[in-house]
Chain A
Amino acid sequence: GDSVTQMEGPVTLSEEAFLTINCTYTATGYPSLFWYVQYPGEGLQLLLKATKADDKGSNKGFEATYRKETTSFHLEKGSVQVSDSAVYFCALSDSSYKLIFGSGTRLLVRP
């Protein structure tokens, strides 16, 4: 079945460092891909999405490009802030309704 694999955390970075969180997927069709973020004490929020190959999703300085050839959707940010500390989930939807999530990557940014 369809699945999402993302790098294990925690990822610990200093403020202003470059961030990459790897995400790869397995799907039989042409899924849409998502990154959700869960800040401490809050619910899941959509961070960005891409619906077809080579699309780039971006929001709040975060970017991810849908790479069909490598079945990847890696999350990047050029300069992280303490306020970016959260758990990040990569997800796919191949039927346009239910989401299939990875196990999450905790990011801790130190001042």
Chain B
Amino acid sequence: GAGVSQSPRYKVAKRGQDVALRCDPISGHVSLFWYQQALGQGPEFLTYFQNEAQLDKSGLPSDRFFAERPEGSVSTLKIQRTQQEDSAVYLCASSSRDRGSTDTQYFGPGTRLTVL
């Protein structure tokens, strides 16, 4: 079946612009995660949803970052007033079970954001 998809794959924004990044998880997956991967680094956790509930947003770097998953499927990561330090690849992952399991997280291809 289809894997995790993300759009757009590439986004160039001018500093100060708002951006919205979309994630379509694997159908039926309960858990959804967002990670930020800076160049040459490993991914870093941003936020976690179980269905439509955002249970952990401890990794969001500032209040300019906002994520939602209103119907428990598609999720959007929004970054307001983008800054150059926001340039990174944003990864979405989903898994079929809720927290408390070690179920595999399936990753999307990522959105590469470049802020000029």
Contacts from A to B (Cβ < 8 Å) = 4, 32, 36, 42-46, 49, 51, 89, 91, 93, 95-104
Question: What residues on A are CB-neighbors of B56 within 8 Å?
Answer: 97-98
Mark contacts of B41-65 with chain A using CB atoms, 8 A cut-off: 1 yes-contact digit, 0 otherwise. Answer: 1111100100000001001000000
Query: Can you identify 5 A-B contacts, CB atoms within 8 angstroms?
Result: A36-B107, A43-B108, A44-B91, A98-B56, A104-B40
Check A91/B42 contact, CB under 8 A, given A32-B102, A96-B101, A97-B33.
yes
Give chain A residues whose Cβ lies under 8 Å from the Cβ of B106. 46
A-B CB pair tally, cutoff 8 Å? 58
Known A-B contacts A32-B102, A96-B100; A43 and B41 likewise in contact (beta carbons under 8 Å): no
User: Are B99 and A96 in contact, with the CB atoms below 8 A?
Assistant: yes
A98 proximity list for chain B (CB < 8 A) = 33, 45, 48, 56, 59
CB pair A46–B104 under 8 Å, yes or no, is yes
Q: Are A102 and B42 in contact (CB under 8 A)?
A: yes
> Is B87 positioned at the interface, with any CB of A under 8 Å from its CB?
no
